[in-house]
Amino acid sequence: MMRIRQGDIETFNGKHSVTEDQQFRALVEEVGELAEAYNRDADDEAVAEELADVIFVARSLAGLRDINISTVVNETTAENLSKTTETDGDKVTKSGADGDGQTWGVVDD
C-alpha cells in the first residue's frame, strides 16, 4: 500500500497550481458525490472512493491554508471521544469525558 504524505499533496497543489477557492469548491462537490453515493445505497467500495476523495481534497485545502491537519484531526478526535452518549436529536453531545485517561488520535504521517 502506498502512503500519501502531506508533502505529496503539497506537491500536487504546486504541480496543478490549485487555489483555495478551487479546492473549497472541489470539497463541496466531493461531499455532494459522497451524499449521492450514500443516498443511492451504493456499495461500500463506491462510498469509500467518495470518502477518500473528500479526505484528499480536504488535505489539499488544509495544505494551501498552512493548516497542520494531522494536529487538528488529533485534537478534534480526542474532543469527540470525550463526548458521552447523551444526544441532542441525533448528534452526540459534549457533556463530559469518560475519564479513562487515554489519549486518542491519528498518526501524523
Which domains can be identified in the chain, with CATH numbers?
8-81 (1.10.287.1080)
Report the relative pairing of strands 91-92 and 87-88 from DSSP bridges.
Answer: antiparallel
pTM (2 decimals)?
0.75
pLDDT in tens, 19-68: 999 999 999 999 999 999 999 999 999 999 999 999 999 999 999 999 99
CA-CA distance, 68 to 59, in Å (whole number)? Answer: 9
Asked if 75 contacts 41 with a C-beta cutoff of 8 angstroms, the reply is no
Residue listed under C-alpha cell 488535505: 59
pLDDT of 55-102, one tens digit each?
A: 999 999 999 999 999 899 999 999 888 877 676 667 666 654 444 444
Cell of 109: 504521517
User: For 18, phi and psi rounded to 5 degrees?
Assistant: -75, 150
